[in-house]
């Protein structure tokens, strides 16, 4: 377990603010019981912030035909949809919603080559909302496993998220289970899969990135 590099500044800023608030509470609030309640709240907030940026150490569930979850969280959509941005045809959509308590690092679902990336500014609707994939701030990455076989991974900001980070660049080699980015504070990741992919999860299931096989390539 380690802290993600994107969290260093946030944690330091949070710590600094909480130290100042602690000093203010000690000086301004004479009631001891109330002070201790506030101190506990400050500590809980700092602990949660540090935990949010945790990066677990996991053994990747490697497999030639595996399509792994790119994020920890709950499966909130499994359906056939029209993918408007890149493929411009029908695809199988599997969406994973990340609560503020989930790990928010994102990993590649399969091996391949990054052939497309595109960031889109947008709104901050609740990430579980079906229209969040179209209207929220988002970042799309297409990994081509082999000619004619590709997966689109879409990072979507949620109502709390205010920053999507992606390190994927066109031409990069994607390695299954390798980190490609992080979304800060509540969000969603959509996987657009080939229509003949065999789905291996169900609605409401909790999945873990790098471990859970969302689907299999045929």
Query: What is the tens place of the pLDDT at every residue in 102-139?
Result: 888 999 999 999 999 999 886 666 655 555 566 678 89
Residues 123/136, Cβ–Cβ less than 8 Å: yes
Q: Catalytic annotation on 132?
A: no
Domain assignments of the chain as residue spans, ordered by start: 2-55, 66-216
Phi-psi region of 148 (alpha: psi -120 to 50; beta: other; left: phi over 0): left
Query: Average model confidence (pLDDT) for the chain?
Result: 88
pLDDT score, position 159: 63
Q: Write phi, then psi, for 72 (nearest 5 degrees).
A: -80, 145
Query: Which pLDDT tens digit goes with each residue over 143-195?
Result: 999 999 999 999 998 665 557 889 999 999 999 999 999 887 668 899 999 99
pLDDT tier for residue 100 given thresholds of 50, 70 and 90: confident
Query: Which pLDDT tens digit goes with each residue over 44-79?
Result: 988 888 877 777 889 999 999 999 999 999 999 999
Q: Write phi, then psi, for 5 (nearest 5 degrees).
A: -60, -25
Question: Which residue in 117, 137, 114 sits closest to 125, CA to CA?
Answer: 137
The domain made up of 66-216 has a fold known as Glucose Permease (Domain IIA) (2.70.70)
């Amino acid at each position: 377990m380690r802290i993600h590099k994107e969290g260093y500044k946030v944690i330091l800023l949070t710590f600094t603010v909480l130290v100042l608030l602690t000093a203010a509470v000690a000086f301004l609030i004479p009631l001891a019981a109330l002070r201790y309640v506030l101190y506990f709240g400050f500590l809980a907030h700092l602990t949660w912030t540090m935990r949010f940026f945790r990066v677990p150490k996991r053994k990747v569930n490697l497999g030639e035909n595996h399509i792994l979850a790119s994020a920890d969280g709950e499966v909130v959509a499994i359906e056939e949809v029209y993918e408007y941005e890149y493929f411009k045809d029908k695809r199988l959509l599997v969406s994973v919603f990340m609560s503020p308590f989930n790990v928010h690092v994102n990993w590649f679902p399969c091996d391949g080559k990054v052939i497309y990336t595109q960031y889109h500014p947008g709104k901050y609707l609740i990430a579980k909302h079906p229209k969040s994939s179209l209207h929220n701030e988002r970042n799309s990455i297409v990994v081509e496993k082999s000619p004619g076989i590709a997966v689109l991974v879409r990072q979507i900001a949620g109502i709390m998220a205010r920053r999507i980070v992606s390190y994927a660049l066109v031409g990069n080699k994607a390695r299954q289970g390798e980190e490609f980015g992080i979304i800060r504070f509540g969000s969603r990741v959509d996987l657009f899969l080939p229509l003949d992919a065999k789905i291996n999860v169900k609605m409401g299931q909790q999945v873990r990135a790098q471990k859970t096989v969302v689907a299999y390539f045929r």
